[in-house]
Structure 1
Amino acid sequence: MTTHPTGTREDWLKARLDLLKAEKELTRRSDEMAQRRQALPWVKVDKAYRFETEDGPATLADLFRGRSQLLVYHYMFGPDYTAGCATCSTIADGFNGFAVHLAHHGVMLSAVSRAPLAKIQAYKKRMGWTFPWASSSGGDFNFDFNVSFTEAQQRDGGIEYNYQREPAWTAQGIGDTMTKRGEGPVAENADMTGTDVATYTRERPGMSAFVREDGVVYHTYSAFARGLDGLWGMYQWLDRAPLGRNESGTWWRRHDEYERQA
């Protein structure tokens, strides 16, 4: 027998209407947050960033592919990874479907990682993805947008991620809240990329938005960590499922690994 509260259809409808009021308020708040994001001041991008793409060398302006806006997903795929981050992969699984709609609305979506282009292309083929994915290998782009860090920064406490400074690396990991003393989701994800926790966490997830106006590129917005929850399509569905996210450890896998796991 279920341990969850049960009731009549009338009980359910009363509770559902109460919840609807809260949901509508959340929707209004979400609309307000979107407007505040769009009202942030634009910052001119002066540095000449270079990328490698399937079409050859590219500038940041080239990544727009003729559109006026560019959304970059900072995909965790470091030079030493043997495969892309499994968590980033679950987010990226949704990109193929809506990238075409964004492109027809003047918005280009592209992933960017520090892994060499050959590694990216091989992994992209494995996953069956078609969205643009550029390599920033050898450049400053990831470092300047606070999603990649050096070993020295990690060791000396010089990492500023998600608008706050992290404690220096210790034997237990980068802060107990992040690594749970070297165990838990971060360590499991590191293992799935063929790296250790230190190497894995020198890359971080994030997204950045850019706009191009009169030939000038501006940075308009960036988000990291839990700020990316809204981009994680499966979470939006799980939040509406009867048992919610119902998480125990790193339950997700790359989409081609579930059958292998079973």
Structure 2
Amino acid sequence: MNSPAIVSREEWLAARKELLAREKQFDRERDALSAQRRALPMVEITEPYVFDGPNGAVGLVDLFDGRSQLIVYHFMLAPDWDAGCTGCSLLADNIGHLAHLHAARTSFAAVSRAPLANITKFRERMGWDFPWFSSHGTSFNYDFHVTMDESVAPVLFNFRTKEELREAGIGSWALSGEQHGLSVFLREGDRVFHTYSTYSRGTDLLNGTFNYLDLTPLGRQEEAGIMNWVRHHDDYGDRAEEDGCGHCDA
């Protein structure tokens, strides 16, 4: 990767002010986009999902833990996997102290299709303490389009059908197996409503590591492939020639 040009302080300041104008414009556009997101209509969830958690079986309303809002991260961990997706794990490493979300009447939980025993083993390895539930044996992952299996439900990833994904040149990775994403729910009494979901690069803003790297000259360093360098945090060493996560270009 080429280094930035070397210039005088005056030239740097002029370039920085030009960029600042674009950053301010982006801030205003982001604020408007956030307002539009908050104004989305919502859909009531009537399916009686049952999740397996550390204290036994719970329903979707229980994941709110008494709060008004719930953010669910769809963590890629299939029933036959020994470890979770490295990209999802990177994002999980960036989850902050949940007290701040709780103060805003918002709960957070991860949900995976793996059995709870598999989740618990991997969670302990990674040292995480956020709530994490198993949707094993339910239709939750299929209904929210983070597990693709045409024998169960039609493929629909990032709001595009199988045909639309192929027309867009999206790789076969989006047509089967586990995907990551995030869904938001609102509770009114015992009624639960789905307000928002995002997939693929829609979760970028949650990843503090990427946000930090985006401020640097070298950026995310993905010349060899999307997230090619990402490992589980206890597995870094030589950057071997491995395929990247790849679940970020749809």
Specify if TM > 0.5: yes
* Greater fraction of residues in helix: 1
**How far apart are the structure 2 equivalents of 1:176 and 1:149?**
17
2:92 matches 1:99: no
Contact 2:229 2:239 in 1 (8 A): no
Greater than 6 Å deviation, 4+ residue runs: none
TM-score (norm 1): 0.83
C-alpha separation between the residues in 1 aligned to 2:129 and 2:209?
Answer: 19
Q: 1:117 to 1:8 in 2, by over 3 A?
A: same
Q: Distance in 2 between matches of 1:176 and 1:222?
A: 22
Counterpart contact for 1:44–1:217, Cα < 8 Å: yes
Distance 1:119 1:129 in 2: 14
Could you tell me which runs of 5 or more consecutive residues in structure 1 were left unpaired when the two chains were aligned: 180-185, 187-196
1:119: Cα distance to partner? 0.3
Q: Which amino acid aligns with 2:207?
A: W
Alignment gaps of 5+ in structure 2: 241-250
Q: Which amino acid in structure 1 is aligned with residue 160 of structure 2?
A: Q
> CA–CA distance in 2 between the matches of 1:169 and 1:79?
26
Displacement after TM superposition at 1:169 (Å):
11
Q: In the alignment, what sits opposite 2:230?
A: 252
CA distance in 2 between counterparts of 1:226 and 1:10 reads 36
List per-residue Cα deviations over 1:148-201 (Å, max 9, x = no partner).
1225369xxx3110011125999xxxx96425xxxxxx6xxxxxxxxxx98xx4
2:126 corresponding residue in structure 1: 127
Contact preservation (8 Å) 2:3, 2:217: no
Structure 1 contact 91–232 (Cα < 8 Å) conserved: yes
Structure 2 equivalent of residue 17 of structure 1: 17
Question: Residue 66 of structure 1: SS of its match in structure 2?
Answer: coil
Other structure's SS at 1:137 match: coil
RMSD over aligned Cα atoms:
2.4
Q: Rate the CA distance shift 1:169–1:241 in 2: closer, same or farther, 3 A.
A: closer
Structure-to-structure mapping, 1:204-223, within 5 angstroms: 204-223=179-198
Q: Hey, what does 2:148 align to over in structure 1?
A: 149
